[in-house]
Structure 1
């Protein structure tokens, strides 16, 4: 295990991640601001990908491509989220955290774990010799990343435009890709990181396949912890008494984009088992409105 840690920079990337997140934790704790939080997360991915690529200096085509994919994703998301929070002023997710040091510590610790864990496939690839010639898995993974990236970017921009329009004040987003999924941005992010894992798989051997925990951790986090559950609860509390909203929720997939005519006519068990319409996503609806 010591050799693996040295050759794949696992210990180094962990130290860098903790130090980087700690700096921004101190800033948010002292000044009680939200503007740097998402920027700190996305740019940390970029730092780890470039650091491991440069330190190993193998410069295999697979390493360069995967690093570029992380850099493009991180820059796009980091800049978008920074501009959005500067425009909006505050992030409501932190309303209960700004004055609570314990909650802030938990959040920043979780963010550090998220960055380091999800980066594992790229860290392992960049810490190797590159893994030889390209395989079909490379192209499949890159294709998954492209589709995921485009969906996430489109969803983010469409929602921002929708929210910035005065006539949409107080409404839920129901345009573009949001017609087919209640959380298309999360679907895109999950898809692109699974794509990176698939593209990294030709390099993996033995215990290195445990880096699958990276995209798995991201998926579980968005499905059960800080992603969909929080947004569903917030939206249900705001709009749960409206029939149009209940119809939207009943006919729109929570994650995987599908035509409403298809999703709306599926039986409840099928939605729950195959499309992740989990019961606790509707626990904040009025009882007669639960879907």
Structure 2
């Protein structure tokens, strides 16, 4: 079984590197931002469908996981493609487009991200995985609930923010409507729930080295909570709006990730805000530097 998994992993790694390299050549040679996020989302879909077809066992869990990833991947890549077409350019690459080496680092990281986060579905779709517990387990039910709720939250949050930004009356404002009233980053909450759900589903069949699939939700949380996700967006927002008292009030009463009613979040002591709601000190740049309050 482990040998078959290694073969599966090798094929997935080769396909991921080839796909990202192809899109990198297009983006780098044409100074083209519109394929970056699209390349990531569609790569997940390709890996899920490819491993599903390679296994040729079509168990209930394999069908379910593959449909979930295809739905998530097409929704995300389609949304991000439409958004970048509307915006025109991605400011994340303003200092990288003219430097192929810096630009390549992003694409290498994206390949690592796709492969690592795809591990649960790769193992679920591995040959003979259907031989183990080909019936709905309690883990499957928990994982399905997490995934569905996460996808709904992420989709609704993206639509609400997109509509907010496309309203001329909201120019220069931050989104604080809908789910964004209860969380400063509800879309990231949904993303974390999606991959935590897929991992929980995979625990029904994981054995031995396959437990490396836990890297999927851990890697997702690390990126969103500590690297290029919330910290970067919080810094940009604080630098832009720190002189606006309404923004400062919004930030102080709104959870950074978990959906919490503002009055409840405001009443929590700082340690609980950090432990329960992920209000980490590195998210605070209201004074121009990280404010460890």
Same fold (TM > 0.5): yes
Q: CA deviation at 1:287?
A: 6.7
C-alpha change, 1:287 and 1:107, in structure 2 (3 Å) is: closer
Indicate yes or no: 2:29 matched with 1:58.
no
Q: 2:226 and 2:33 mapped to 1: Cα distance?
A: 23
What secondary structure does 2:240 align onto? helix
Aligned to 2:262: 260
Instruction: Answer whether contact 2:281 2:290 (CA < 8 A) is retained.
Output: no
Aligned-residue CA RMSD in angstroms? Answer: 1.7
C-alpha deviations, 1:134-191, integer Å up to 9, x for none? 2111111011100000000000000000000001001000010000100000000000
TM-score (normalised: structure 2):
0.95
Q: Aligned with 1:58: secondary structure? A: coil
Aligned residues: 290
Residue number in structure 2 paired with 1:283: 285
Q: For 1:242 and 1:229, how far apart are their aligned partners in 2? A: 20
CA distance in 2, matches of 1:288, 1:151: 29
TM-score for the superposition, normalised by structure 1? 0.96
How far apart are the structure 2 equivalents of 1:145 and 1:176?
A: 20
Please show how residues 218-233 of structure 1 align to structure 2 within 5 Å: 218-233=220-235
Task: Map residues 1-291 of structure 1 onto 2, 5 A cutoff.
Answer: 3-6=3-6, 9-129=8-128, 130=130, 131-132=132-133, 133-283=135-285, 285-286=287-288
Query: For 2:109 and 2:254, how far apart are their aligned partners in 1?
Result: 30
Distance (whole Å) between structure 1 residues aligned to residue 13 and residue 44 of structure 2? 12
Q: Which moved more, 1:254-263 or 1:279-288?
A: 279-288
Matches of 2:92 and 2:289 in 1, distance apart? 26
Deviation at residue 76 of structure 1 after TM alignment: 0.6
Instruction: Give the conservation status (yes or no) of the 8 Å contact 1:140–1:198.
Output: yes
Which structure 2 segments of 5+ residues have no match? Answer: none
- 8 Å CA contact 2:4, 2:127 repeated in 1: no
- Deviation string, structure 1 residues 178-233 (Cα, Å, up to 9, x no partner): 00100000000000110000011111012211210111101101111111111111
Counterparts of 2:163 and 2:2 in 1: how far apart (Å)? 50
- Residue aligned with 1:203, SS: coil
Q: Give yes or no for contact 2:284–2:290 (8 Å, CA) kept in 1.
A: no
- State the Cα distance separating 1:283 from its structure 2 match: 2.9
In 2, the alpha carbon distance for the partners of 1:290 and 1:160 equals 32
Tell me if structure 1 keeps the 8 A contact 2:24–2:104.
yes
Q: Per the alignment, in what secondary structure is the counterpart of residue 173 of structure 2?
A: coil
* Structure 1: runs of 5 or more not aligned: none
